[in-house]
Structure 1
Amino acid sequence: MSKPFDMELFLAGVLTGSHATQQRHLRQARIIQAEISERWQRQTPWAWQKKHVAWFLEHRLSGRSEATRYYYLLTVRLLARRLQKTWGFNL
């Protein structure tokens, strides 16, 4: 049996800011991971494609406030930086 994916370890190199900000990014990254995992059975960010993250931003956050969508976009940018991807998203 394999170990569960450790999002904190994955983002450790790109997390900056205060402790509260880092915890928010980790919480949001875990939520993104859970949603993508449930929808497409892609367990780790290494298996994600841009369309998976775009789906999350467009469909799972559609009823949320603009501020919430913005904070999730910041987390997605951290994930993309860690994956060394040049994903660009507009909200």
Structure 2
Amino acid sequence: MNEADALDMVQAAIWTVLAASGPAVLAAMIVGVTVALLQALTQVQEITLTFVPKILAVLAAVAISAPFIGSQMSIFTNMIFSRVQSGF
């Protein structure tokens, strides 16, 4: 294995982490902005009000996107195993 192969694997790992965490982070961001907007409009500044909707949204997003996350992880794992097998 040379430096180019190692860089390709690191790049693939970073893209896999971004793709796998993307749905949960996006759901948390959308719910957070929505709740913050509602708090600003109603002037209810309760800090703990944002936690429950965010947790529920993240759990729902992970449950819905679990097949996509699993396929991304499987593709990455197969790529790593094929590189390791061909390297030895």
TM-score by length of 2: 0.33
Which structure has the larger Rg? Answer: 2
| Higher relative contact order, chain-length normalized (CA < 8 Å, sep 6+) | 2
Which structure: greater helix fraction?
A: 2
TM-score by length of 1: 0.32
